[in-house]
Structure 1
Amino acid sequence: MMRRFWLGLLLAIIVGVFYTWLNAPEWLENWNEENQVMVEQQRQAGLAAGAQTDQSGCLAEALQRVESCKGSEYRCTVDGGTFFKACWENSQASEGLCVAVPPYHDTATEEDKAWVKEQCTELGLLAKGCRFIMRQQQQLCSATRVAN
């Protein structure tokens, strides 16, 4: 009796795994489409906000968005980063915003990590998205310095 139970359970698991494997491409395709729509919405919101504010305003709004976001950490970080980049690119420059920002490195140095952590701590922000936004600020400020 017990042997039949385990064989039945094993068969159910195998069928479930096989069914999931067959449907995985459809699930992934749907997720990618939904993700692209959400990213584009955040990009459009960032562009609109950027037209109404300067880079400091974009930074403040992006940080507020990641801190108050109720979605998953991944979703909040992606949305906040997408919003910030689009806003920054469409906003007026903020005098002095990049002065104390260290240069961006593709692989964060210990100094980069310390600066990012210090910025989020000073602002009283706990969301991990804050660190991502600060790294983006480093990258955007470095790109601005190179362009000027």
Structure 2
Amino acid sequence: MRRFWLGLLLAIIVGVFYSWLNAPEWLESWNEEHQTMVEQQRLEGISAGQQTDQQGCLTDALQRVEQCDDSEYRCTVSGGTYFKACWESSQPTVGICNNIPPFHEKATEDDKAWVKDRCTELGLLAKGCRLIMRQQQQLCSDAP
């Protein structure tokens, strides 16, 4: 029984050491993949924005994050990147910023409540919806 535990401990130590040695390669690969994904979403957003208005971008981005099958992180990052690029290259939608509270760098309780209520009204459960709503607040606050 003692040999089993010593063998297991040795296997764990070797595994941790091996992982530690390969961590920089894994991280570099992940960073490259992440940057490629972000750039792809940005280009898709620009292309979509040239064919729609801001409301179309909002609807499209919300649908993307809601239907995303990837990790929550990747879904929100890709959805947010797509939305911002689409919004900035799209035609303005009259009234899209009406009744949108002003953006605060640090979300206030009112901001959080508005975002939550807006996503609930739309029937969206993905956390990406909250990111998109916060981006809409920021983009509307930045608009001239």
Give the shorter-chain TM-score range. Answer: over 0.9
Question: How many residues were matched structurally?
Answer: 144
Same amino acid, percent of matched pairs: 76
1:1-148 equivalence runs, <5 A: 2-144=1-143, 148=144
Gaps of 5+ in 2: none
Cα shift readout 1:22-61 (whole Å, capped 9, x = no counterpart):
0000001001101111111100000000000111111010
Displacement of 1:107: 1.0
Cα shift readout 1:107-132 (whole Å, capped 9, x = no counterpart):
11110011001111111111111011
**Runs of 4+ in structure 1 over 2 Å off:** none
Secondary structure at 2:124's aligned position in 1?
Answer: coil
Letter of the 2:89 counterpart: N
Gaps of 5+ in 1: none
Distance 1:64 1:6 in 2: 51
Secondary structure at 2:92's aligned position in 1?
Answer: coil
Distance 1:18 1:5 in 2: 20
State the TM-score, normalized to the length of structure 1: 0.95
Distance 1:125 1:13 in 2: 43
